[in-house]
Structure 1
Amino acid sequence: MAHQYQLHQKITVQCWCCRSPQEFVFSSPSDQVVCSHCVAHTGNTHAERRDADHVQLWSDLYARALAEHAAQTAAADQTIALLIAELDAAKEQVAQFSAVLARDFDQTQSAEVRAILETDLVKSAERKTDAALLRYDRAMAALWRISTQHQLSDAKPQPNQPLRCSCGKPVTECVEWAALESVRQLLESWEAKQQRHLAAGERHALPSEHPDVQTSTPISPRNSGRRR
């Protein structure tokens, strides 16, 4: 059977035998769309071997996907922990500067206070705080996008059936669901805070596809200043 795929370039298409996505380079429309795992399955006498090979292939693909998800989850958890630590450290440094200024305010002329505020040390601390906030917001926005695809399904579960993720898998089998569970409360708190910024006409970090952003009035430039 002839195919309609592009020729002479590497493309990923579904194998006509095992139905798994595989890479092919076709030189002719008459080339078989059969991956290297399935070349020995042609003909009617290889059904038993074909079925066994397909089970093993899909088992390997599933194991590989689980390993990749686990690595991505671990990396995301580590990034979030580092960002939180960096943000806390920056906030503590700014708080220390503020305490010094408040303590010495009565003994200091206003011009001297302004000079302290304009020092490179304070400006550097503010830049670090802004940078940490930005990286934290970007990480949380990325997790929010993933969470929209992995929530409890709206479909009413059947008796004696497990709860299902919105991706279609039981929650006990969904790797993304398990990864999000460890940060779901933190993510919900972050989302609520950004929604308050949006409602107040302040700069926020909600993704453009967030329902509240879709229905809100665009923020004017005068309200797009630095968030505190």
Structure 2
Amino acid sequence: MAMWADLAADQQVNHQAEVERLTALLASEALVIDGLRAESAGLTAVVAGEFAVGGVRDLLENDVVRRADRATELANRRNDRTMAVLWRLERLHHENAQNFGACACGEPVLTCAEFAAIEPERQAVREWEKKNVAWAAEGKRHGLPAEHPAAGATTRR
């Protein structure tokens, strides 16, 4: 029985030593965490100050604006290419002014598949053409195809 008492006493001493070691380790880790929190707060204040002053904010906003402008420009060019194709098709398939009811290709407008395909977008093509003709007349960049009478030697988009 004395042996068990000695073992229990040794376990208590070892346990107490382990508790003291872990307590010291926790205190040390708490100091590191507090230091990192203080450093993080300082860096956050610097970044927030720069963001508010304009440095970082201007860089971020300029990059976002540049990307949006580029995406818009690409979308506009894609739209111009599509509308130019529709304009070309509309030149080939529109109602013949001399022969009412006939497509320019010679088919009756009621049976011309191309005429029917273009018809729902005909007004949009005309509006696009009008806008781009005005830009071409002003010497601005436009999306008219090279063979368009108003395209001339003006700048294309």
Same fold (TM over 0.5): yes
Give the counterpart letter for 1:155 in structure 2.
Q
Q: Does 1:125 align with 2:68?
A: yes
Give the counterpart letter for 1:129 in structure 2.
T
Give the counterpart letter for 1:136 in structure 2.
N
Question: What is the aligned partner in structure 2 of residue 197 from structure 1?
Answer: 135
Question: What is the aligned partner in structure 1 of residue 26 from structure 2?
Answer: none
After TM superposition, list the pairs within 5 Å mapping 1:57-96 onto structure 2.
none
Question: What is the aligned partner in structure 2 of residue 152 from structure 1?
Answer: 95
Q: Which has the larger radius of gyration?
A: 2
Mapped partners of 1:129, 1:189: distance in 2: 19
TM-score (norm 2): 0.59
Shift of 1:154: 2.6
1:137-179 CA-partner distances (Å, limit 9, x unpaired): 100001111110001113244xxxxx00000011000001111
Give the counterpart letter for 1:190 in structure 2.
W
Shift of 1:196: 0.8
Mapped partners of 2:96, 2:156: distance in 1: 38
TM-score (norm 1): 0.42
Identity of aligned residues (%): 41
Question: What is the aligned partner in structure 2 of residue 93 from structure 1?
Answer: none
More strand by share: 1
Q: Give the number of aligned pairs.
A: 106
**Cα RMSD between the aligned structures?**
2.6
Structure 1: runs of 5+ lacking an equivalent: 1-107, 158-162
Question: What is the aligned partner in structure 1 of residue 147 from structure 2?
Answer: 209
Give the counterpart letter for 2:137 in structure 1.
A
Mapped partners of 1:168, 1:179: distance in 2: 16
Structure 2: runs of 5+ lacking an equivalent: 1-51
Question: What is the aligned partner in structure 2 of residue 64 from structure 1?
Answer: none
1:186 to 116, 124, 128: 124
Name the SS for the 1:152 alignment partner. coil
1:68-90 CA-partner distances (Å, limit 9, x unpaired): xxxxxxxxxxxxxxxxxxxxxxx
Call closer, same or farther: CA 1:194–1:117 in 2, change over 3 Å.
farther
Shift of 1:118: 5.9
Question: What is the aligned partner in structure 2 of residue 173 from structure 1?
Answer: 111
More helix by share: 2
Mapped partners of 1:139, 1:225: distance in 2: 14
Contact 2:92 2:104 (8 Å CA) reproduced: yes
Name the SS for the 1:183 alignment partner. helix
